[in-house]
Structure 1
Amino acid sequence: MAGLFPFLIFSAVIGAGINAGLFFIFSVCIMGALGRLPAEQGVAAMQSINVVILNPWFMLAFFGTTLLSLVLVAVAFFTGSPARLYVIAGSLLFLVGTIMVTMVFNVPMNNALEALQPQSEEAVRLWSSTYLIDWVRWNHVRTLSSIGTLGCFVMAFRVA
């Protein structure tokens, strides 16, 4: 178990870093660029992103880090390692601030956007009045929680 714990933590560092980078680039670049487009084009582009992102690499990074977080919490309770508190903190940050926020806020907004024709008045209204504000706000939460997760897992790896 002693050799496995640092390996799991290291793997979680990689996963958290990938997720933090993904959410960061949406917060600081992609959504701003889409917001500069005419609403119909922004909606269509986001609808396309929401389809393309559901690929095996994204799933591995997103759900793999979720699985690692769950495994690490369980293992942390059975180890006396000084890394356990960082592992628990990082795992909880990821599970609540990234996974839960995604499932409760961002995915339902994506689904609502997906159900609309990009050029419809309803899509334009949703995009301009709600989506660009609320989706981005919740993405900032995911970004910060993923960065916090990354920091916790790096510290855990350091002391493991």
Structure 2
Amino acid sequence: MLNTFMNYQLDWRFQTFDELTTIELYGILRLRSEVFVLEQRCCFLDMDNKDQLSHHLSGYRDGELMAFSRIVPPGVSYEYPAIGRIVVSPRGRGAGYGIELLNASIQKLEELYGKVPIRIGAQLYLKRFYESFGFRQSSEIYLEDDIEHIEMTRAIQ
């Protein structure tokens, strides 16, 4: 299902796993590998069997994937629905795509599940960024792939 968002720079697609084309899925996995594996130097299994259960939000500029997140149903990662695999392409950084991605992710999650608490697993250095969207730290710091992380929860707004 293709959706447009008012006043956004990117062209957004919001799809279930089964609605993704092989080309779209390849682009998503490539972007996630580019950032999470190569750039952040993390050796981890990105394909965790949650993609098939999730909705996927992809932002394109001139046909190139610039931003991505997945909306994970409640009970899969946490008791609340979650926004995960939040990533902006290195070629799109500094253009406000991260802000646009989070706004669109929250909007789509609330369309699916209503006004509910939202959970994320965040890299610690992005704490202030997520706080600007109403998320608050809800766990102690933990290491994931040698990067400090925290769980953050956004209360019902």
Structures share fold, TM-score greater than 0.5? no
Q: Which structure is higher in strand share?
A: 2
Measured against the shorter chain, the TM-score band is under 0.3
Larger radius of gyration: 1
When the two structures are superposed, what TM-score results if normalisation uses the length of structure 2?
0.27
Higher share of residues assigned helix: 1
